[in-house]
Amino acid sequence: MHVNGWSADAAPEPLGIQIAAEADLPTRFGRFRAVAFNDVHDEREHAAFVRGDVRGAEGVLVRLHSECLTGDAIGSLRCDCRDQLEAALRLLGQSERGVLLYLRQEGRGIGLTNKIRAYALQDRGLDTVDANLALGFHDDEREYGAAARMLAALGVRSIRLLTNNPAKIEDLARHGVRIVERVPLVIPPNEYNRFYLETKARRSHHMLEWDDETALEQDDVPLIGEDSH
């Protein structure tokens, strides 16, 4: 398939990464292409979900989503991950082209077990940053080199990045990704993640602004079979 003079088969692969497998993926958000990679620098199974033709394209709408098993799969209300994931997929599904990178750096890179340890510390009053520090980690252990290589392997030339996180923008740019615009992805808080979101804004400088009028009411949060407390 030729797009803007590029051929998906003949395009030069960037050093150290290549597409390992791809297939169509119809989803409840629209039709995507699921893409897996071989990356000599990173053995984790990151994946790209690609909407439309992105090879050679400029200003492609891109979301980098860091894995959150508790939020993404189980529907935890402690964070905003699943809401962000669904909002991003909805936006991409309405777009002609775009990419969601699903990055296997659970718990901001500390892994599931340590994230649950961090939750236990948060239940004793620490915020997300101090909980990570108490466990001997940085507040955020993620890096976006693999994401940059995946975008290069897909032939994306420049991106419009869906994020509120300045560190993500900086690290991606440091890895050579051209970001032409930041597109906010703000989810109104619920009663369980309000402190978490406030911590993101206050301590991690995330660009979060929401209108309290639009905040989810408890009734809107699907806590089936549980008393609210």
Ligand X SMILES: Nc1nc2c(ncn2[C@@H]2O[C@H](COP(=O)(O)OP(=O)(O)OP(=O)(O)O)[C@@H](O)[C@H]2O)c(=O)[nH]1
118 binds, among ligand X, Zn ion, none (CB under 5 to 8 A by kind): ligand X
Host H or E run for residue 130: helix 128-134
| The one catalytic residue among 142, 149, 157, 171 | 142
Task: Check residue 81 for interaction with Zn ion (CB under 5 A).
Answer: yes
Give dist(CA 33, CA 25) in Å, integer.
5
Largest CA distance in the chain: 59
Active site residue 123: no
Q: Compute the Cα dihedral for 18, 88, 171, 204 and give only its sign.
A: negative
Among 115, 126, 157, 171, binds ligand X (CB under 6 A): 115
Q: Taking contact as CB under 5 A, which single stretch among the options 68-76, 89-97, 149-157, 177-185 is the one that binds Zn ion?
A: 68-76
Known binding site: residues? 63-68, 79, 81, 84, 106-108, 128, 163, 168
**Backbone phi and psi for residue 134, each to the nearest 5 degrees, phi listed first:** -65, -25
Q: How far is CA 69 from CA 62, 206, 225, in A?
A: 21, 22, 21
Cβ neighbors of 169 (< 8 A, separation 6 or more) are 161, 163, 179, 182
Cβ at position 189, least distance to Zn ion in Å: 13
Task: Check residue 79 for interaction with Zn ion (CB under 5 A).
Answer: yes
* Per-position DSSP letters for 17-31, written without gaps between them: EEEEEEEEEEETTEE
Task: Check residue 68 for interaction with Zn ion (CB under 5 A).
Answer: yes
Of residues 165-204, those binding ligand X (CB under 6 A)? 165, 168, 185, 200
Active site residue 140: yes
User: Binding residues for ligand X, per CB under 6 A?
Assistant: 66-68, 79, 81, 84, 105-108, 110, 115, 118, 128, 132, 163-165, 168, 185, 200, 206
User: Where in the sequence numbering do the catalytic residues fall?
Assistant: 140, 142
